[in-house]
Amino acid sequence: MHKQLITLRVLGITEAQKIVFPQNPSSPEIPNIPNSTDSDNSAGPVENFIQGEIFADIFPDMSALKPKKSLKKEHEELLSRLPEFRVIRSSRRKRTLHAYRQNGVIEIHIPDRLSRRQEFDVIPEMIDLVLKRENRLRKSDTALLDLSDVLLAEYLPEFNERPISVTWRVMRERWGSCTTVDKTIRISERLNTAPDYALRYVLFHELIHLRIAGHGDDFHELLARYPEKDRAEAFLEGYEAGSAGSPEEIMELPPI
C-alpha cells in the first residue's frame, strides 16, 4: 500500500521530521511519529527553540525594560572618568556652548534651557574638543629641554650648569620647581598651552635655580634679564585669579 509522506518543517529543528500517514484516512492506524530522543533517529535531537527569536515581533526587548540609572548615578560615573570640569548655566545664552580650560579646570558654558539629561550628553563632547585642541598644541619633554638650551645660551651664557631633565608634571600650587642638587626641573602641566612668553619665563626662572637655590638679590638680578618678565608675571597672576583661560571651543545647538 502506497503511503503519502508529508514533511513538516518546525522552527528550531535542524532537520525536517517526517510523519507518515496512511493513504486511507479512515484507517485506525496511528501515524508513525519518530521519537527525536531515539538513538536511531537520523534526524538528530530537536534543538530548543529560542522564544525571543520566534516572537521578536510580539515581545518587547527585555533589556529595554531594565530600570534606567538615576541622574545622580550617571553624574557620579561621569565625574569618575572625566578630567576636572565645571558647568556654568546662563539664561542669556541661547544656542551656543563654550568650553575652555580656566586655571586648570575645564569650564563648560551652556544655555540654561538645557535639561540635565542634555547636559550629561554634551559634557563629554565638549571636554573632548578641549583635550583634542590641547593635544595639538602640547609640547613634549624634549621640547622643554631644547628650549632650556636656547634660554641658557641667550640670557645665561656664563652658566656651565645644564639640566639633567626637564619634564611636565601635574602641579596645582606651583608653576615649576628645580632641584639644584641633581639638576632636575619640573614644569606645571597648566603651562603646556600657555603663551610662549609665559612658559619661557617660568622655565628661565627654574634654570637660574641650577646655580642659585634661593630668591635673593643675585637671583632677581639674573631674572630681570628676561625681556618679557612683567608681561609674563601679569599673565600668571591673572591665571591664578581665574581671569585667564585657554581659547574657547564652541559648539552650536540645533534649532528647537
- Structure confidence at residue 221 (pLDDT): 96
Closest Cα to residue 207, out of 158, 250, 251? 158
**Residue 13 domain-assigned?**
yes
pLDDT tens-digit readout, 151-205: 999 999 999 999 999 999 988 889 999 998 999 999 998 888 788 999 999 999 9
**Residue 150 domain-assigned?**
yes
Sheet holding 165-169, edge to edge: 165-169, 184-188, 176-179
**Residue 238 domain-assigned?**
no
Euclidean distance between CA atoms 184 and 57, whole angstroms: 68
pLDDT tens-digit readout, 81-117: 788 888 999 888 777 888 888 767 888 999 988 888 8
Q: Pick the last residue of a domain from 66, 89, 110.
A: 66
Q: Pick the last residue of a domain from 45, 66, 87.
A: 66
Half-sphere exposure of 240 (CA within 13 A, CB side): 13
**Residue 123 domain-assigned?**
yes
How many whole angstroms from its chain centre is CA 44?
52
Question: What's the domain range around 208?
Answer: 141-225
Does residue 147 share a domain with residue 174? Answer: yes
**Residue 236 domain-assigned?**
no
Instruction: Give the count of domains, the chain.
Output: 3
Euclidean distance between CA atoms 168 and 195, whole angstroms: 16
pTM over 0.85: no
**Residue 188 domain-assigned?**
yes
**Residue 25 domain-assigned?**
yes
The model's confidence at residue 80, banded by pLDDT at 50, 70 and 90, is confident
